[in-house]
Amino acid sequence: MKRIIFALFITMILFSCAAPEKKKTGPVVFYPALPQQPRIQYLTSIMFEEDLGRKQSRFDEFLLGEKPTMKRIGRPIDIGSVKGRIYVSDRLYKKIIIIDLEKNEFDYIRDTGIGTISDSAGIWITEDDMKYVTDISRKQILVFDDKNEFLKAYGDIDQFDKPMDVAVYGERIYVCDLNKNKIIVLDKSSGEVVQEIGELGREEGKLFKPSYITMDNDGNLYVTDSFNFRVQMFDSQGKYVKSFGFHGDVPGSFARPKGIAMDREKHLYVADAAFENVQLFDVETANLLLFFGGFGGKPGSMYLPAGVHIDYDNVEYFQKYADKDFKIKYLIIIGNLVSDKRIGVYGFGDWTGSPLPGIKDK
C-alpha cells in the first residue's frame, strides 16, 4: 500500500512539473489577404469549453482517463459582452450562455420563476452589465442585473408580437418586432410605448420583417430590413436617413441579411446567412469597404452566420492568437448557427510589421 501511495505522489510531482503545452497554431488568415494591407485577422473559434484552453488536470486524467466536457454552444443567434465575459443567446438550449474568459469555462444565467427564459433571441448588454433579452414565446423583454439575477420584464399583452432584437440608448429601449414590421420604443422607467418607427412596406423608412437592430454613439438606429434586403438607418428622432445594400448576389448586396453591429468609427458590420460572410460598410458614404468569411471548412469560414458583436473590452484574451505583426484594436465576434465553429472570433487592427509590397509605409 505504501508503494502505491508513493507512486501516486511521484506521478503528481512529475505531472505538475511537466512543461506546459505550446499553443496550437494554424494558418494565419487575413482579410484582405497578403500582400494587401490586412485589416482583419481570423483568430479562433469557440464551441466547446476546451476551446477556451480549459483542460482536465494531468493527475485526474491519469486516475480517471480523459473525460471531455459536455458543455457546448448550440445555436448562437446573438452575442454581447462585458470585460471578462461573452454572453451568447442560444436558441437550441433557450438559455443565455456565459463564456467566462477569466476562468476559461462556460456557465449560464440561472433563470427561474418569473424570470424564466422561454425562447431567447436578441441580447443587449449595457456598460453596467445589465442584460436585456428578447423572449419570443413570452413576447417580452427580460432584464437581468450585473449579478445575472432577474430584475424585471417589459411587455404588456399585445404590446409585442414577435420581438426579435433589442437595443438600449439612454432612457429608451428599442424593440425590433418581426411580425409587426416596426421598431417599438419604450420608456425605460415606465415601460410605456413612446414611439413607433416604421410600418409594413418597401419604400424608404418602411420595413418588411425587421430582424436585428443596433445603435451608434449618437443615438442613430440601424435595422436589418430582412425581406427588403437592406439595412436602414434612422436618426435619434426616428427619421429615415439612408439605406445600405440591395437585393443581389454581388458584393454590397444581400440575400439573407442577419445580425448587425457598429464600431466606434462608424463602420457597419452586416452578416449574410446566404453569402456566409460579413460585409463592412462606411456609414458616411454607405459604400462597401470589405467583406470576410465565406463558406467552407477552412479557418475563418462561416456557416449560417447570425449574430455579430463588436468587443473592445476583451482584446487581451485573444491577442495571443494574432500574428506578431498585427495589433488588434477590437474583436468581431460572429455566431454561426451550424458548423464546428459556433463562435468565430476575428480581430480588426493594423499591420505593424515591415511595409508590404506595393503598400506605402505610414
Q: What is the pLDDT of residues 285-327, one digit of tens each?
A: 999 999 999 998 899 999 999 999 999 999 999 999 999 999 9
- DSSP assignment of 264-320 equals TT-EEEEEETTTTEEEEEETTT--EEEEEE-SSSSTT--SSEEEEEEESS-GGGTGG
Q: Residue 115 pLDDT > 60, yes or no?
A: yes
Dihedral sign computed on CA atoms, order 57, 62, 63, 67? positive
Burial grade of 164 (CB within 10 A; 0-12, 13-18, 19 or more): buried
Mind listing the pLDDT tens digit for each residue in 295-305?
A: 988 999 999 99
Percent of the chain with pLDDT over 70: 86
Give the closest residue to 311 by CA, choosing from 151, 101, 119: 101
* The pLDDT value given to residue 357: 58
**Domain regions of the chain by residue span:** 27-351
Query: What is the CATH superfamily name and number for domain 27-351?
Result: TolB, C-terminal domain (2.120.10.30)
Q: How far apart are CA 165 and CA 177, in angstroms?
A: 7
* Widest Cα–Cα separation across the chain: 83
Give the rounded percent of residues in the chain with a pLDDT score beyond 90. Answer: 81
Closest CA to 169 of 143, 188, 150: 188
Q: Are strands 131-135 and 343-351 parallel, antiparallel or unpaired?
A: unpaired
d(CA 299, CA 45): 9
Q: What angle do CA 321, 325, 330 make, to 5 degrees?
A: 55
Other CB atoms within 10 A of residue 288 CB: 18
- To the nearest 10°, report the CA torsion of 193, 258, 37, 83: 60
Q: Tell if the pTM clears 0.85, that is, is over it.
A: yes
Give dist(CA 215, CA 170) in Å, integer. 11
Average pLDDT over residues 39-59: 84
Supply the pLDDT for residue 9. Answer: 36
**Residue 70's pLDDT band (boundaries 50, 70, 90)?**
low
Q: Do 328 and 322 contact (CB within 8 A), yes or no?
A: yes
Average model confidence (pLDDT) across the chain? 90
Q: How far apart are CA 121 and CA 90, in angstroms?
A: 7
17 Ramachandran zone, left/alpha/beta (phi>0; psi -120 to 50) = alpha
